[in-house]
Amino acid sequence: MNGWVEDELAAIDARGERRRIEAWPTPGPYLNTPDGRFINLAGNDYLGLTAHPAVRDAAARAARDVGPGATASRLLAGTCALHEELERALAAWRGHPSALLFSSGYLAAMGIVPLLADRGDLILADRLVHACLLDAARLSGARLLRFRHNDVDDVRKRLATRAAYRRCLIVTESIFSMEGDSAPWRALLEVALEHDALLLVDEAHAVGVTGPRGAGFTADDPAIEDRLISLGTLGKALASAGGFITCSPVLRELLVNRARTFIFDTAPTPPAAAAALAAVRLIERHPEWAASLATKSARVRTRLSDAGLDTLASHTHLVPVRIGDNEHTMALAARLRTEGILAAPIRPPTVPAGTARLRLSISLAHEDADLDRAVDALIGVVQS
């Protein structure tokens, strides 16, 4: 077997796409190592809550009082009071009728998409949606068509054959993590309503940092009862682990009974649920956090753009700097590391060939002076 495995790895190396795992002492916007302190622009701790005492204490108490693991699926003996309390809190915070927890956002996507579309159905997915949504679409057996990024007219064009399918699902993200832009989801919802389709919006990078109460773009939308389904994660701004879906109560009931990644998966751990619940409560008490993060991010983006760097269409806390060549992107990331700055080099297959980039993830916990230093360093290495 090793021969073909080695051939595959050699091909990956030839394209400059080899990945390697690297361990860090602790997560967060700053990474302390024996070699020094890094400004971490590669993570997704958008509000800096991984280090917040209330979040850490909640997880520790749950581990001590409830246990470190759920030990069973939700439908056997794995559901604890924390799971249900978190689901109620997520639904109320987002202004949606109900929520259902999964062990990860990936599993939430793999559970919901095949339930909404099956053989004989149609899925229209934005060309840049996350891999979990594409994997889920392929698993469903439905016909998958990918529309041009954020192009509502292209969606309408592809819906010309809608009558040939039983059900239709439109899939997008509210914030695209590798582009830093956002979807025209309200226009997509209008199209869904016009064509008797459903709209699934992945809010993974928006929950906690945008929208009403920081609860995401789709918060408070009444269409959630009928045509709009939202997917979110606990592992980014909420500083925990897991995923969730907000939807109508009747769809939640169907998920409980039919979603394989819910039925056959061990329940999320009690410490993860407790940490996420504490994070939600903190964000509810600090509605100003979202605006503060937006201000920090705009400052970084403006400085980079003014220096002539290509930040694509970003207007969020995720700021890409397009480089193009894989090897050059890796070399720039390595040079930044020598200056104590960790910027994620993003290459295919995560992004299209020829569009490799450095992705900057801004956190509310980043000091302005450190962001200025990181921007100065980035401009310097790119322009040198």
Q: Render pLDDT for 167-217 as a digit per residue (tens, 0 to 9).
A: 999 999 999 999 999 999 999 999 999 999 999 999 999 999 999 999 999
- Could you report the per-residue pLDDT of 74-94, keeping only the tens digit for each? 999 999 999 999 999 999 999
Query: For residue 36, what pLDDT is reported?
Result: 85
Please report, for residues 42, 47, 53, 289, 367, the alpha-carbon distance to residue 364 in angstroms, rounded to integers and kept in the order given.
14, 5, 16, 7, 8
Does the active-site annotation cover 157? no
* Catalytic, out of 103, 177, 182, 240: 177
Residues near 323 by beta carbon (within 8 Å), at least 6 away in sequence: 329, 332, 356, 357, 358, 382
Q: Would you say residue 1 has pLDDT above 70?
A: no
| 382: pLDDT strictly greater than 70 | yes
Q: State residue 219's pLDDT score.
A: 95
Residue of 83, 96, 130, 317 marked catalytic? 130
Mean pLDDT over all residues of the chain? 95
Please tell me the distance from the alpha carbon of residue 97 to that of residue 103, in angstroms, as a whole number.
21
Mean per-residue pLDDT, 53-78: 97
| Cβ atoms 233, 201 nearer than 8 A | no
- For position 300, what pLDDT does the model report? 98
Q: Is 177 an annotated catalytic residue?
A: yes
Angstrom distance (rounded) from CA 190 to CA 197: 10
Which residue is it, tokens 């809608």? Answer: 162
Query: Cis link prior to 349 (omega < 30° from 0)?
Result: yes
In the three-class reduction of DSSP (H, G, I as helix; E, B as strand; rest coil), residue 228 is classed as strand
DSSP state letters, 279-329: HHHHHHH-THHHHHHHHHHHHHHHHHHHTT---TT--SSEEEEEEE-HHHH
Name the active-site residue from 83, 96, 205, 366: 205
Of the residues 87, 126, 179, 202, only one is catalytic, namely 202
Radius of gyration of the chain (CA): 21
Q: Please tell me which residue in 45, 87, 173, 203 is annotated as part of the active site.
A: 173
Residue 19 has what pLDDT? 86
Higher-confidence residue of 36 and 288: namely 288
Q: Is 194 a catalytic residue?
A: no
Query: Residue 236: which region, alpha, beta or left (left: phi > 0; alpha: psi -120 to 50)?
Result: alpha
Cα–Cα distances in angstroms (integers) from residue 232 to residues 112, 204, 245, 295, 313, in the given order: 12, 5, 6, 23, 23
Q: How far apart are CA 299 and CA 309, in angstroms?
A: 14
Residue 16 burial by Cβ neighbours in a 10 Å radius (0-12, 13-18, 19+): middle
**Number of neighbours of residue 354 by Cβ within 10 angstroms:** 10
Domains of the chain are 25-49+287-383 (3.90.1150.10), 66-285 (3.40.640.10)
Q: Which of 40, 44, 230, 314 is catalytic?
A: 44
Q: Take residue 307 and report the two structure tokens written for it.
A: 């220096």
Q: Quick check: 363 and 29 in contact, CB under 8 A?
A: yes
pLDDT in tens, 265-323: 999 999 999 999 999 999 999 999 999 999 999 999 999 999 999 999 999 999 999 99
Mean pLDDT of the region 117-138: 97
Q: Evaluate whether 201 touches 218 at the Cβ level (below 8 Å).
A: yes
- Residue 225 is classified by DSSP as G
pLDDT number for residue 209: 97
Q: Does the annotation count 236 as an active-site position?
A: yes
202 is catalytic: yes
The Cα angle at residue 203 between residues 25 and 143, in degrees rounded to 5: 115
Query: What is the percent of the chain where pLDDT is above 70?
Result: 100
Question: What number is the average pLDDT over the span 12-25?
Answer: 86
Per-residue pLDDT tens over the stretch 324-349: 999 999 999 999 999 999 999 999 99
**pLDDT of residue 2 exceeding 90:** no
Q: Which residue is catalytic, options 83, 236, 296, 366? A: 236
Reading the block at residue 319, the tokens are: 């700021």
Which tens digit of pLDDT belongs to each residue from 220-234?
Answer: 987 777 899 999 999
- Under the banding of pLDDT at 50, 70 and 90, the label for residue 384 is confident
